[in-house]
Amino acid sequence: MPVIRRTIREASIDDQFRLCRERAGQERWEIVGSYEDAAISESSTILRPGIQRLMRDAKQGGFNILLAEALDRISRDQADVATLYKHLKFAGVSIVTLAEGEIFELHVGLKGAWSGLTNYSSRTDNLSWAAANPCCVPTPV
Protein backbone atom coordinates (compact mmCIF):
# COMPACT_ATOMS: atom_id res chain seq x y z
CA MET A 1 0.00 0.00 0.00
CA PRO A 2 2.06 2.98 -1.12
CA VAL A 3 1.43 6.50 -0.04
CA ILE A 4 2.21 9.18 -2.59
CA ARG A 5 3.45 12.51 -1.28
CA ARG A 6 3.20 15.64 -3.40
CA THR A 7 6.08 18.06 -3.35
CA ILE A 8 7.04 21.68 -3.77
CA ARG A 9 6.67 22.53 -7.47
CA GLU A 10 3.01 22.82 -8.44
CA ALA A 11 3.84 22.32 -12.12
CA SER A 12 5.29 18.88 -11.48
CA ILE A 13 2.89 17.62 -8.81
CA ASP A 14 0.44 16.07 -11.26
CA ASP A 15 3.29 14.41 -13.16
CA GLN A 16 4.77 13.02 -9.96
CA PHE A 17 1.41 11.61 -8.89
CA ARG A 18 0.83 10.12 -12.34
CA LEU A 19 4.24 8.42 -12.36
CA CYS A 20 3.76 7.08 -8.86
CA ARG A 21 0.25 5.80 -9.69
CA GLU A 22 1.67 4.02 -12.75
CA ARG A 23 4.39 2.37 -10.65
CA ALA A 24 1.89 1.41 -7.95
CA GLY A 25 -0.29 -0.16 -10.64
CA GLN A 26 2.65 -2.14 -12.05
CA GLU A 27 3.47 -3.43 -8.57
CA ARG A 28 -0.22 -4.06 -7.80
CA TRP A 29 0.01 -1.82 -4.74
CA GLU A 30 -3.14 -0.26 -3.37
CA ILE A 31 -2.92 3.53 -2.97
CA VAL A 32 -4.44 4.40 0.39
CA GLY A 33 -3.56 8.09 0.59
CA SER A 34 -1.38 10.94 -0.53
CA TYR A 35 0.52 13.72 1.17
CA GLU A 36 1.74 17.07 -0.03
CA ASP A 37 3.23 20.29 1.20
CA ALA A 38 2.98 22.32 -1.99
CA ALA A 39 4.59 25.77 -1.99
CA ILE A 40 6.29 25.24 1.38
CA SER A 41 9.89 25.22 0.28
CA GLU A 42 11.98 26.68 3.09
CA SER A 43 10.34 25.14 6.14
CA SER A 44 11.83 22.18 7.96
CA THR A 45 10.23 19.03 6.64
CA ILE A 46 9.39 17.89 10.15
CA LEU A 47 7.22 21.00 10.71
CA ARG A 48 5.18 20.65 7.52
CA PRO A 49 1.51 19.67 7.96
CA GLY A 50 1.66 16.97 5.26
CA ILE A 51 4.69 15.32 6.84
CA GLN A 52 3.12 15.50 10.29
CA ARG A 53 0.00 13.76 8.95
CA LEU A 54 2.16 11.20 7.11
CA MET A 55 4.08 10.39 10.30
CA ARG A 56 0.88 10.13 12.34
CA ASP A 57 -0.66 7.75 9.77
CA ALA A 58 2.54 5.68 9.61
CA LYS A 59 2.63 5.28 13.40
CA GLN A 60 -1.00 4.14 13.30
CA GLY A 61 -0.20 1.49 10.68
CA GLY A 62 -2.09 3.21 7.88
CA PHE A 63 0.39 2.08 5.20
CA ASN A 64 3.60 0.11 4.79
CA ILE A 65 5.26 1.74 1.75
CA LEU A 66 5.96 5.40 1.05
CA LEU A 67 6.31 5.87 -2.71
CA ALA A 68 7.83 9.05 -4.11
CA GLU A 69 9.45 10.13 -7.35
CA ALA A 70 12.84 10.58 -5.67
CA LEU A 71 14.25 10.93 -2.18
CA ASP A 72 14.70 14.68 -2.62
CA ARG A 73 10.96 14.94 -3.32
CA ILE A 74 10.37 13.90 0.30
CA SER A 75 12.91 16.43 1.58
CA ARG A 76 16.04 18.15 0.35
CA ASP A 77 17.35 18.46 3.91
CA GLN A 78 19.48 15.39 4.60
CA ALA A 79 19.00 15.60 8.36
CA ASP A 80 15.23 15.55 7.84
CA VAL A 81 15.54 12.61 5.43
CA ALA A 82 17.54 10.64 8.00
CA THR A 83 15.03 11.44 10.76
CA LEU A 84 12.04 10.54 8.60
CA TYR A 85 13.73 7.33 7.47
CA LYS A 86 14.40 6.30 11.08
CA HIS A 87 10.84 7.01 12.22
CA LEU A 88 9.26 5.34 9.20
CA LYS A 89 11.44 2.25 9.58
CA PHE A 90 10.46 2.00 13.26
CA ALA A 91 6.80 2.18 12.15
CA GLY A 92 7.37 -0.65 9.66
CA VAL A 93 7.21 1.57 6.58
CA SER A 94 9.60 1.17 3.64
CA ILE A 95 10.50 4.09 1.39
CA VAL A 96 10.55 3.33 -2.34
CA THR A 97 11.36 5.91 -4.99
CA LEU A 98 11.08 5.74 -8.74
CA ALA A 99 14.63 7.08 -9.11
CA GLU A 100 16.49 5.11 -6.43
CA GLY A 101 14.36 2.04 -5.73
CA GLU A 102 13.98 0.87 -2.13
CA ILE A 103 15.81 3.14 0.28
CA PHE A 104 18.13 1.69 2.94
CA GLU A 105 20.35 3.20 5.67
CA LEU A 106 23.43 3.13 3.46
CA HIS A 107 21.58 4.98 0.73
CA VAL A 108 20.48 7.72 3.16
CA GLY A 109 24.06 8.09 4.41
CA LEU A 110 25.65 8.14 0.96
CA LYS A 111 23.04 10.57 -0.36
CA GLY A 112 23.79 12.88 2.57
CA ALA A 113 27.54 12.65 2.00
CA TRP A 114 27.14 13.30 -1.74
CA SER A 115 24.85 16.25 -1.05
CA GLY A 116 27.45 17.67 1.34
CA LEU A 117 30.19 17.30 -1.27
CA THR A 118 28.18 18.97 -4.00
CA ASN A 119 27.11 21.77 -1.66
CA TYR A 120 30.74 22.29 -0.70
CA SER A 121 31.78 22.24 -4.35
CA SER A 122 29.13 24.82 -5.19
CA ARG A 123 30.25 27.12 -2.39
CA THR A 124 33.88 26.93 -3.50
CA ASP A 125 33.14 27.07 -7.24
CA ASN A 126 35.02 23.80 -7.63
CA LEU A 127 32.45 21.68 -9.44
CA SER A 128 35.14 19.94 -11.46
CA TRP A 129 36.17 17.82 -8.44
CA ALA A 130 32.74 16.24 -8.08
CA ALA A 131 32.40 15.70 -11.83
CA ALA A 132 35.89 14.22 -12.10
CA ASN A 133 35.29 11.74 -9.28
CA PRO A 134 32.18 9.79 -10.26
CA CYS A 135 33.27 6.89 -8.03
CA CYS A 136 31.68 8.81 -5.15
CA VAL A 137 28.24 8.81 -6.76
CA PRO A 138 25.93 6.17 -5.24
CA THR A 139 24.37 3.99 -7.92
CA PRO A 140 20.85 2.59 -7.54
CA VAL A 141 20.82 -1.20 -7.19
What domains are defined for the chain?
A: 2-103 (3.40.50.1390)
Q: Exposure pattern of 96-119 as b/e (b: 16+ CB <10 Å)?
A: bbeebeebeeebbeebeeebeebe
Beta bridge partners of 5: 35
pTM of the model: 0.70
Per residue of the chain (141 residues), give pLDDT as tens.
Answer: 455 554 444 547 888 889 999 999 999 999 998 888 776 665 566 678 888 899 999 999 999 999 999 888 888 788 888 899 999 999 999 999 998 899 998 878 776 565 555 554 444 444 443 344 343 333 344
Residue type, 108: V
Task: Give me the helices (H) in 2-141, please.
Answer: 10-27, 49-59, 71-74, 78-90, 105-123, 127-132
